[in-house]
Amino acid sequence: VNAEIIAVGSEMLTPSKLDTNSLFLTARLNELGVEVQAKSIVGDDPHLLTAAIRIALDRSEIVILSGGLGPTMDDLTREAASAATSRPLEFHGEILRLIEARFRRMNRTPTENNRKQAEILEGAEILVNPNGTAPGQWIEASGRVLMLLPGPPREIEPMFVDQCLPRLRALLPPVVIRTLFWRITGLGESQVDALVAPVYSRYSNPVTTILASLGDIQLHLRAHAATAAEADALLDPVAREMEPLLGDHLYSKEGLSLEEVIAQRLVERGETLAVAESVTGGMVSTRLTAVPGASRWFAGSMTAYTEGAKVRPLGVDPEILQLHSAVSGPVAEQMATRARVLLDADWGIATTGFAGPEGGDPDSPVGTVFLASSHPSRETQALKVRFLGDRERVRQLSTQAALDLLRRQLA
């Protein structure tokens, strides 16, 4: 079943106001197995709005309008819906009395305009609005549903949950939604999409969504079916085909963050971790210690920012520092090993680099970062990476890459 949402109101066509109602509605609809196939924002223009409603009813089984039910001249949703459906508006005295009672409770008197809000499309069911004046309307005809709902979130949200969802559930076949939450790092959004699109584009159920944030991609696979087993059976072949394409960039199939994956692995292995940070200035440790129960596996960290701090107390060999400079592979390796030894941990990880905007050298321009992990049973070898972007971006990507380096070592 497909739905379409129309947000009504010219203010949402300005730079200062967003249509958030459609996000709320989409989340609730998806839970019923209904996909939103189109949404639009239409300004306060009767012709545009009538046309938009006609088009929506033509192609979507469920059409939801939010906003434009107020009492003023530019609240046009009722009139436009009436024109688009060829259903006349009927005045309901009992609604006006409810509106008048509400105004009395607020010690105000309704204006002549409020009469408009008591006009209901012929054949519509009235959706009461305990949080505002304008009632909503539910129109069901020839297998389609049209809803006229108020604009303010505090009015539309309870109205939708309490009055529209039960009606929709009664109309729709029972549905179970199963979602896979995958997390990926080390690839850009377009790279992930290029890898998996040949698979997911062949399916409309499950639906695939790719969400990207700095250095981290979430891939959601959502299937709906009559039972959980059927939904899983829909997910299974798609997941099995996609998984090898992502290789070891896919770091969690349960929606866990990198630091949560690291925490799990360290607890499983009964090992502990120490951190030495230069370019990331504590960001790696901040993410790690955000995981509840970190004291079981996080020994501690040191932000060794200056050369002096790297030598003492951390204990990097001053000769190595002189020979290779503070931003170098050998120094990153020593930082990781020294953090591990100093804090008596099983693992050590370290970051050192040029976040910019100033600094860098010909071999290692701004954005160059060395990462290292150290463990007594493994060779310590630094990883050199180069990130583009401003200081904050370089620091965040370095943090992510340091955590990913350790995650790979723990795999």
Residues at the site binding ligand ATP, with contacts judged by CB under 6 A: 7-9, 12, 19-21, 66-70, 75, 132-134, 150-153
Nearest-approach distance from CB 115 to ligand ATP, in angstroms: 14
Residue for token digits 């009606």?
Answer: 167
DSSP at 254:
B
Nearest-approach distance from CB 28 to ligand ATP, in angstroms: 14
**Residue 38 near residue 59, CB atoms below 8 Å:** yes
**Residue 258 near residue 250, CB atoms below 8 Å:** no
Nearest-approach distance from CB 123 to ligand ATP, in angstroms: 21
Nearest-approach distance from CB 14 to ligand ATP, in angstroms: 11
Nearest-approach distance from CB 153 to ligand ATP, in angstroms: 5
Residue 64's Cβ-side half-sphere holds a number of Cα atoms within 13 Å equal to 29
Nearest-approach distance from CB 110 to ligand ATP, in angstroms: 12
C-beta closer to ligand ATP: residue 66 or 364? 66
**228: its two tokens:** 């959980």
Nearest-approach distance from CB 121 to ligand ATP, in angstroms: 15
What's the CA gap between 77 and 65, in Å, rounded?
Answer: 8
C-beta closer to ligand ATP: residue 153 or 359? 153
The DSSP string of 86-124 is T--EEE-HHHHHHHHHHHHHTT----GGGGGGGEEETTP
C-beta closer to ligand ATP: residue 6 or 321? 6
- Single-letter amino acid code for the residue at 397: L
Nearest-approach distance from CB 133 to ligand ATP, in angstroms: 5
**Residue 36 near residue 70, CB atoms below 8 Å:** no
Nearest-approach distance from CB 15 to ligand ATP, in angstroms: 15
DSSP at 294:
G
C-beta closer to ligand ATP: residue 20 or 190? 20
What's the CA gap between 88 and 75, in Å, rounded?
Answer: 17
What's the CA gap between 371 and 186, in Å, rounded?
Answer: 14
C-beta closer to ligand ATP: residue 131 or 264? 131
138 DSSP β-pair partners: 125, 147
C-beta closer to ligand ATP: residue 153 or 376? 153
C-beta closer to ligand ATP: residue 134 or 291? 134
C-beta closer to ligand ATP: residue 67 or 215? 67
User: Which of 364, 408, 407, 367 lies closest to 391 in space, CA to CA?
Assistant: 367
Q: How many C-beta atoms surround the C-beta of residue 29 within 10 A?
A: 24
Residue 158's contacts (CB-CB under 8 Å, 6 or more residues apart) are 130, 131
C-beta closer to ligand ATP: residue 52 or 316? 52
Residue for token digits 């949950």?
Answer: 161
- Single-letter amino acid code for the residue at 188: G
